[in-house]
């Protein structure tokens, strides 16, 4: 199990740093639990979204867009309504029909699968989306980006031909999670742990009724985790209503453990949606379904990363990668030239053209936890060079034309 956060880490609270670093805020006029992303926070979000979409496409996922709203009948069909009714916003009446802001994406993706007949040759079909979701969390449960009423989930649903294929895809989903966590600087056993979340056969009100199915599915997931050779715990009564799941658990600075990402086995919805495919034998067969999230909700992973790094993000994630600081107004044109060169090379640069003293500008760069800054003065302009300083105290001097090449290489994951 992950060790609790020490008291000094409470200074890393993402709500505190989110304000100080101008990443996000909660506007009471807009509403509780509805984060407002400021430009720097939005930059981090774009980096993570592009990273995970590109990686998923490399691994055979097909990214789609589906609506943030749907008819209430869709959620009755899936079984989410009334199972999750208390966590859903109230129905919206439009032209004698009832619609819902979506709290999850799976019904949309299953309907997308049904848009045409499918063959076994298409399976596994990996449908992915960065999906905006809306859940009515109780006021007392809301906590910055960690638990919000509006969030964007790195979601996917994998339609499989057999149980064996479904378990194989779950393993691949865990591979992706571990890869992504590694790139984010998170280590298994130190920063996150695995939990096998089980159902309760007797609780047919909360869980889909299929005792034999639950027994088999939980056994398959248990065997998968044992074959991976990684530690995991088991927790009863923590499954989704439609099947058991493997949860990735992380702790925030307050020591509270939350599920960050998850991989779920679906016993229920392939039947509810009649997800079928034409087999090699020319007959129709029922498909199997896996639900998974690779880096969880963008809001929650950003909160975790703020706390993990104390706001001092690695270079590839940092909202401002380089700050360009002219010694005085006289050198502003050369500083602007450097800034524009970096921006053109897709390096996130910020130009400090304020009237503050040089010392104050450098202190601001350090307080903002910018990975690098460049101080531009007479010598740099005359020699057409730059001196790159890092928050670790390292200084490097480059010809201007070499700066972009050096920084570009450092942003590669």
Q: Which residues contact 231 (CB under 8 A, 6 or more apart)?
A: 189, 193, 194
Residues 237, 107: one domain? yes
Structural domain of 406: 322-410
Residues 299, 338: one domain? no
The answer to whether position 107 is within a domain reads yes
The number of distinct structural domains making up the chain is 2
Residues 67, 171: one domain? yes
The answer to whether position 406 is within a domain reads yes
Note the pLDDT of residue 182. 96
Last residue of a domain, one of 258, 283, 309: 309
Last residue of a domain, one of 279, 309, 339: 309
Residue 1: pLDDT band (50, 70, 90) is very low
What is the overall mean pLDDT for the chain?
A: 92
The answer to whether position 256 is within a domain reads yes
Residues 217, 89: one domain? yes
> What's the whole-number mean pLDDT along residues 95-120?
96
Half-sphere exposure of 197 (CA within 13 A, CB side): 24
The C-alpha atoms of residue 349 and residue 362 are separated, in whole angstroms, by 15
- Asked whether 279 and 250 are in contact (CB, 8 A), the reply is no
Question: Quick check: helix, strand or coil at residue 258?
Answer: strand
Last residue of a domain, one of 260, 282, 309: 309
For residue 345, give the CATH number of its domain. 3.40.50.800
The answer to whether position 314 is within a domain reads no
Length of the chain as a residue count = 413
- pLDDT tens, residue by residue, 270-304: 999 999 999 999 999 999 999 999 999 999 999 99
DSSP strands (E only) in 352-394: 372-376, 385-390
Q: Which two structure tokens, joined as six digits, stand for 18?
A: 């989110």
- pLDDT tens, residue by residue, 60-88: 999 999 999 999 999 999 988 877 788 88
Kind of pairing, strands 322-326 and 372-376?
parallel
Residues 158, 275: one domain? yes
The answer to whether position 315 is within a domain reads no
Q: Which one, of 113, 116, 93, 115, lies nearest residue 105 by Cα? A: 113
Residues 146, 248: one domain? yes
Q: Is the per-residue pLDDT at 239 higher than 90? A: no
DSSP, residue by residue, 200-242: -TT-TTTS-S-HHHHHHHHHHHHHHHHHHT--EEEETT-SBTT
The answer to whether position 1 is within a domain reads no
DSSP conformational letter for 143: B
Residues 304, 326: one domain? no
Q: What is the pTM of this model?
A: 0.92
The answer to whether position 2 is within a domain reads no
Note the pLDDT of residue 2. 46
Distances (CA, A) of 223 to 9, 167, 219: 37, 10, 6
- pLDDT tens, residue by residue, 167-177: 999 999 999 99
Residues 16, 61: one domain? yes
The answer to whether position 171 is within a domain reads yes
Q: Which one, of 5, 1, 3, lies nearest residue 252 by Cα? A: 5
How many Cβ atoms from other residues are within 10 Å of residue 243's Cβ?
A: 25
Residues 256, 389: one domain? no
> What's the whole-number mean pLDDT along residues 126-146?
94
For residue 287, give the CATH number of its domain. 3.30.930.10
Question: Quick check: helix, strand or coil at residue 238?
Answer: coil
DSSP conformational letter for 119: B
Residues 356, 295: one domain? no
Residues 239, 380: one domain? no
- pLDDT tens, residue by residue, 4-56: 545 566 788 999 999 999 999 999 999 999 999 999 999 999 999 999 999 99
Q: Which one, of 344, 343, 324, 333, lies nearest residue 386 by Cα? A: 324
Residues 303, 328: one domain? no
Note the pLDDT of residue 91. 92
Q: Which two structure tokens, joined as six digits, stand for 260?
A: 């960050």
Q: Is the per-residue pLDDT at 240 higher than 90? A: no
The C-alpha atoms of residue 100 and residue 37 are separated, in whole angstroms, by 24
């Amino acid at each position: 199990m992950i060790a609790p956060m020490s008291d000094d880490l409470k200074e890393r609270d993402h709500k505190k740093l989110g304000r100080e670093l101008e990443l996000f805020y909660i506007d009471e006029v807009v509403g509780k639990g509805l984060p407002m992303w400021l430009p720097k926070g939005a930059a981090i979000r774009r980096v993570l979204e592009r990273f995970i979409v590109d990686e998923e496409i490399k691994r055979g996922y097909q990214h789609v867009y589906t609506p943030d709203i749907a008819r209430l009948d869709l959620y009755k069909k899936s079984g989410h309504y009334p199972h999750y009714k208390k966590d859903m916003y109230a129905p919206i009446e439009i032209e004698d029909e009832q619609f819902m802001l979506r709290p999850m994406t799976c019904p949309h993706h299953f309907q997308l699968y049904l848009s045409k007949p499918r063959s076994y040759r298409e399976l596994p079909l990996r449908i992915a989306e960065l999906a905006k979701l809306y859940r009515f969390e109780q006021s007392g449960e809301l906590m910055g980006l960690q638990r919000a009423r509006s969030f964007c989930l790195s979601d996917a649903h994998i339609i499989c031909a057999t149980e064996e294929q479904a378990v194989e895809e779950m393993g691949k989903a865990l591979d992706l999670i571990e890869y992504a966590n590694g790139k984010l600087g998170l280590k298994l056993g130190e920063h996150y742990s695995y939990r096998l979340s089980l159902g309760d056969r007797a609780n047919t009100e909360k869980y889909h009724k299929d005792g034999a199915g639950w027994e088999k599915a939980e056994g398959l997931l248990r065997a998968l985790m044992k074959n991976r050779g990684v530690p995991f715990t088991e927790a009863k009564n923590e499954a989704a209503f439609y099947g058991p799941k493997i949860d990735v658990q992380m702790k925030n600075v307050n020591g509270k453990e939350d599920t960050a990402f998850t991989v779920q086995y679906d016993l229920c919805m392939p039947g509810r949606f009649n997800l079928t495919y034409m087999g090699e034998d020319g007959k129709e067969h029922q498909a199997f379904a896996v639900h998974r999230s690779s880096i969880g909700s963008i809001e929650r992973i950003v909160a975790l990363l703020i706390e993990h790094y104390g706001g001092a993000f690695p270079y590839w994630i940092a909202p401002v990668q380089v700050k360009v600081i002219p010694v005085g107004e006289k050198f502003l044109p050369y500083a602007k030239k450097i800034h524009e060169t970096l921006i053109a090379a897709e390096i996130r640069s910020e130009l400090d053209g304020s009237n503050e003293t040089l010392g104050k500008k450098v202190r601001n760069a350090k307080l903002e936890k910018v990975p690098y800054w460049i101080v531009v003065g007479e010598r740099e302009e005359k020699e057409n060079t730059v001196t790159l300083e890092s928050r670790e105290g390292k200084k490097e001097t480059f010809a201007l034309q070499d700066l972009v090449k050096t920084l570009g290489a450092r942003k590669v994951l």
